[in-house]
């Protein structure tokens, strides 16, 4: 059983920053961890994923603004220069071996709202 618990979401002004954290516990070393997001009426989309080795994948829409990192018990997402279009529920994910597709385990989600 894998339990993922996100924190750090909230309301921020355009251009501001937030740091999301997902408590993962210890995972298989081969499992990718990452963040996905879903806005109302939209499909869930990949934001950023990372392997234990440190290799990572970012959506073009967040590249250069967001940074993903991980250690043995959590995965973080540093979000800078936030835009209104970043508004979504952000979900932590793991349990898969591919960097571009999600695994079977999901967190409950944390709301990020970017608005003036």
State the residue for tokens 């999901």: 106
Query: CA separation (Å) from 103 to 33, 92, 100?
Result: 8, 10, 10
Mean pLDDT of 17-22: 98
What residues form DSSP beta bridges with 32?
A: 96
Per the CB < 8 A criterion, the answer to whether 47 and 28 are in contact is no
Write out pLDDT tens, residues 33-86. 999 999 999 999 999 999 999 999 999 999 999 999 999 999 999 999 999 999
Write out pLDDT tens, residues 80-115. 999 999 999 999 999 999 999 999 999 999 999 999
**Given a cut of 90, is residue 1 above it in pLDDT?**
no
């Amino acid at each position: 059983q894998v339990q993922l618990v996100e924190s750090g979401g909230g309301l921020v002004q355009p251009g501001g920053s937030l740091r999301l954290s997902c408590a993962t516990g210890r995972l298989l070393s081969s499992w990718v961890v990452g963040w996905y997001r879903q806005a109302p009426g939209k499909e869930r989309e990949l934001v950023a994923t990372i392997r234990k080795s440190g290799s990572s994948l970012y959506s073009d829409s967040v590249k250069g603004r967001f940074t993903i990192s991980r250690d043995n018990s959590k995965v973080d997402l540093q979000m800078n220069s936030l835009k209104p279009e970043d508004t979504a529920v952000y979900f932590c994910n793991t349990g898969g071996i591919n960097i571009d597709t999600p695994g079977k385990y999901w967190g409950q989600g944390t709301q990020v709202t970017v608005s003036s």
